Amino acid sequence: MRRAAAAVLPLLTAPALLTGCGASGAAPVPDGPPVDELRIGMQEYRYQLSAGTLLPGAVDVVVTNAGSSAHDVVLVQGGTTLWASDLLGPGERQTVEVEVAPGEPVLLECTVGGHSAAGMHTTLEVAEG
Ligand SMILES: [Cu+2]
């Protein structure tokens, strides 16, 4: 299982590096109050988020593929995968309720080859409990 552990590390370090150097290429994350309902739009090659900060606890997530090729999204918090969506084709949608811990960012990434590197990754903040 060494491979799995190695794969998680870049997820944890990349957002910090991006923030430090101005996040060029990353999709803008909306300002605003923490929410318990999040909509994620997927396009080539970025996530469009309805909010940038989540409330801790149960969060309803709706993921819609608004692009023209297949995408997915994996939500990781503190090295733990909260949810991995199905691979969604254009126009497809999936909903889920995830349990979010307070105060720790949630990382989003597309697992389709090359998509994360092309920009399909971002970070959600989570409010303190
Ligand atoms: Cu993708």
* Rounded distance from Cα 128 to ligand 1 centre (Å): 30
CB neighbours (10 Å) of residue 50? Answer: 13
Q: What is the pLDDT of residue 6?
A: 43
Q: What distance in angstroms lies between residue 10's CA and the mean position of ligand 1's atoms?
A: 17
- Delimit the domains of the chain by residue range: 2-126
Contacts of 40 (CB under 8 A, 6+ apart): 47, 48, 49, 50, 61, 62, 63, 64, 73, 108
Residues of the chain with pLDDT under 50: 1-25
Query: How far apart are the CA of 129 and the centre of ligand 1, in A?
Result: 32
Reduced to 3 states (helix: H, G, I; strand: E, B; else coil), residue 82 is strand
The helix (run of H) or strand (run of E) holding residue 9 is helix 2-20
Q: Residue 72 Cα, ligand 1 centroid: separation in angstroms?
A: 6
Which secondary structure element, helix H or strand E, spans residue 10, and what is its range? helix 2-20
CATH T-level assignment (fold) for domain 2-126: Immunoglobulin-like (2.60.40)
Instruction: Report how far ligand 1's centroid is from the alpha carbon of 119 (Å).
Output: 9
